[in-house]
Structure 1
Amino acid sequence: MAKTNPGRFFEDYTVGETIHHAVPRTVSGGERALYHALYPARHALYSSDEFARGCGLPGSPLDDIAAFHVVFGKTVPDISLNALANLGYAEGRWLKPVYAGDTIRSTSEVIGVKQNSNGKSGVVWVRTRGFNQRDEVVIEYCRWAMVRKRDPETPAPEAVIPDLAKVVGPAELVIPEGLDFSNYDFTLAGEPHRCGDYEIGETIDHVDGVTVEEAEHMMATRLWQNTAKVHFDTGSRPDGQRLIYGGHVISMARTLSFNGLANAQIVAGLNGGTHANPYYAGDTIKAWSEVLDKAETPAPGVGAIRLRLVATKGGAPFELKGEDGKYLPHVMLDLDYWALMPV
């Protein structure tokens, strides 16, 4: 009997099954320090316990995207070890902050499968949930990945394509317990802009860029225990290059968005996301944002802002798709999310 795990292939997934992922992980202040070492993260709520307490929280949580990486990383050996690409996200919500000392585990329910026309791969949709040690759901989201088939001759399963919401409604966003921006310190946060200062349709060039190197994206992938072969093994792709983990691009783009959106403190919802083109070591990540919507919340002083975050390599900002409706070659990431911001 084989003792090693070759990972699941497309024909190994059954709609309706729930996969319990190994191995639970207890997070500490080390994750925060490493996150800030890998990315120039500066959002004040995740940098300062005192700032977080001034906003009604018991202390500074783990950055929302870092918490997402922890939950996501658990799923890779069972969902995307043999993936050709991670294709997109939907219906994401952050339900509880993750604090140092919390232990996180993940489960995924298979909600859809569809074989590709070439018969060599297929798309698998899953709904993943991350739990803390109190069995509280801290994060939930859907994603879909293109996964290799073990045997191209295996008959195609009946296609099931889930009907996923295009937007998480503002009323579905969960505000962290106690969050209060009534006495928000704009000076310490780094910018004076409130939710009301942004107009729907406004675009923001975040100006800065970061060139990604092999060492840092490999460290990030190991930190989040993402074992997908395309990120580790140069022999797993015909071109001999390692793909940069899409989550690394998300974190870098979100971090770059500080310049212009420093007060978009908390990521509360993930409406959609596409990894449009691959990144490789040596590419320079730049980012721009578009304001898509705004909403009120019941929390004192707290508003919600819906943002499109686009990561690029080269090209002019605010360019997204060509006349054919396809993403332009320099567009790497198109992410649609809700953030919480002082009103």
Structure 2
Amino acid sequence: MAPKTNAGRFFEDYAVGDVITHAVPRTIKMGERALYHALYPARHALHSSDQFAQNCGLPFSPLDDLITFHTVFGKTVPDVSLNAVANLGYAEGRWHTSLWPGDTVTATSEVIGVKQNSNGKSGVVWVRTEGRNQHGELLLSYVRWVMVRKKSDGPAPETVIPDLAKVVDPADLVIPQGLDFTKYDYALAGEPHRLSDYKVGEVIDHVDGVTIEEAEHMMATRLWQNTAKVHFDATFRPDGKRLMYGGHVISLARALSFNGLANAQMIVALNGGAHANPCFAGDTVRAWSEVLDTAETSAPGVGAIRLRLVATKTAAGALRGADGKYLPDVLLDLDYWALMPTG
């Protein structure tokens, strides 16, 4: 009789072209926003106030962009990264449609690449994931790649490494229908800085820090229905520690970036990212950003800013050592596009 429990997929269980339908559909309401804002110091006005959002041309305040990301990501974990050694990176991420209270989220992933590691004990799997709402509209799409354990010493599959864009073209950014920043209220948003105030190469120290608590991380991981063993089971790692969910660090860093980037209101693309070093309870997370590019959009008063967001346990501006490797205190290196008023 076949086993009724799911031990998760191993490297041999993936083949390029496979399409995985992820369980379980999730209806998102205002409770998720309340919990998100309780877990993270998130204060961007467009995701906090219906009145502010309506002044910007939207019907009411959409749910935080990273709620969409976490919900979709969490659905993929049992099928993609339950037996992962590490979540290695992201590319070609785009937010296509805003998430509204009452929307039901589903997700699918297509395997687009596989490569066995030289040790023969693990391999890298690339998947392109899509999250949709109850109308079949695309909410979010992105590529991520993970290192997954092998379950045997069998032969290696043929290597397929996908050719991925390093940056989402600004022309391909999806601007929410009706978004208009020509009547933008800088006082209510919290800062006066508009797109023209930011220069390529500028580094912004977000000043504040948050010490991660075990309980907060566990609540967040359960909230997003992320079942990865390394986040729950303290016996899974030799050091007896539960690894913090990388998305938890992303949301903390994004929330901390409000101080200096309060007007970077919506994330619309994820160009790339790496969880550079593990994060554990007791670590104090700080954040800094580097301006990588700016671009115009077709929406009135709306510009796009490309940012490198770095979560670290040390000073702003430090990223890599002389050997080109990430410094040991760097936790996250994230490259994304956000929407900001032009002024």
- The TM-score bracket by the shorter chain reads over 0.9
Instruction: In structure 2, list runs of 5 or more residues that go unmatched.
Output: none
Counterpart of 1:117? 118
TM-score (norm 2): 0.99
Instruction: In structure 1, list runs of 5 or more residues that go unmatched.
Output: none
Counterpart of 1:166? 166
Counterpart of 1:180? 180
- State the identity %: 75
Counterpart of 1:146? 147
Counterpart of 2:320? 321
Counterpart AA for 2:227: T
In 1, Cα distance between the equivalents of 2:159 and 2:234? 32
Secondary structure (helix, strand or coil) at the match of 1:21 reads strand
Counterpart of 2:93? 92
Counterpart of 1:59? 60
In 2, Cα distance between the equivalents of 1:341 and 1:330? 30
Counterpart AA for 1:224: W
In 2, Cα distance between the equivalents of 1:48 and 1:233? 38
Secondary structure (helix, strand or coil) at the match of 1:125 reads strand
Correspondence 1:204 to 2:237: no
Count of residues in correspondence between the two structures? 341
| Shift in Å, 1:180 | 0.3
| Shift in Å, 1:84 | 0.8
Kindly report the root-mean-square deviation, in angstroms, between the aligned alpha carbons of the 2 structures: 0.5
Secondary structure (helix, strand or coil) at the match of 2:38 reads helix
| Shift in Å, 1:235 | 1.2
| Shift in Å, 1:317 | 1.1
In 1, Cα distance between the equivalents of 2:337 and 2:326? 22
Secondary structure (helix, strand or coil) at the match of 2:200 reads coil
| Shift in Å, 1:270 | 0.4
Secondary structure (helix, strand or coil) at the match of 1:87 reads strand
In 2, Cα distance between the equivalents of 1:23 and 1:66? 16
Counterpart AA for 1:85: A
| Shift in Å, 1:16 | 0.6
Correspondence 1:136 to 2:128: no
Counterpart AA for 2:320: K
In 2, Cα distance between the equivalents of 1:83 and 1:92? 21
Secondary structure (helix, strand or coil) at the match of 1:236 reads coil
Counterpart AA for 1:197: D
Secondary structure (helix, strand or coil) at the match of 2:154 reads coil
Correspondence 1:3 to 2:12: no
In 2, Cα distance between the equivalents of 1:246 and 1:154? 31
Secondary structure (helix, strand or coil) at the match of 1:219 reads helix
In 2, Cα distance between the equivalents of 1:181 and 1:191? 15
In 2, Cα distance between the equivalents of 1:294 and 1:333? 22
In 1, Cα distance between the equivalents of 2:112 and 2:59? 36
| Shift in Å, 1:195 | 0.4
- Superposed CA offset, 1:30-82 (max 9, x none): 01000000001000000111111111111111100111000000000000000
Secondary structure (helix, strand or coil) at the match of 1:244 reads coil
Secondary structure (helix, strand or coil) at the match of 2:235 reads helix
Counterpart AA for 1:146: M
- Superposed CA offset, 1:117-140 (max 9, x none): 111111100000000000011100
Equivalence map 1:220-231=2 (5 Å): 220-231=220-231
Runs of 4 or more above 6 Å deviation = none
Counterpart of 1:36? 37
In 1, Cα distance between the equivalents of 2:168 and 2:128? 15
Secondary structure (helix, strand or coil) at the match of 1:230 reads helix
Counterpart AA for 1:48: S
Counterpart AA for 1:340: L
TM-score (norm 1): 0.99
Counterpart of 1:24? 25
| Shift in Å, 1:221 | 0.3
Counterpart of 1:283? 283
In 1, Cα distance between the equivalents of 2:306 and 2:124? 28
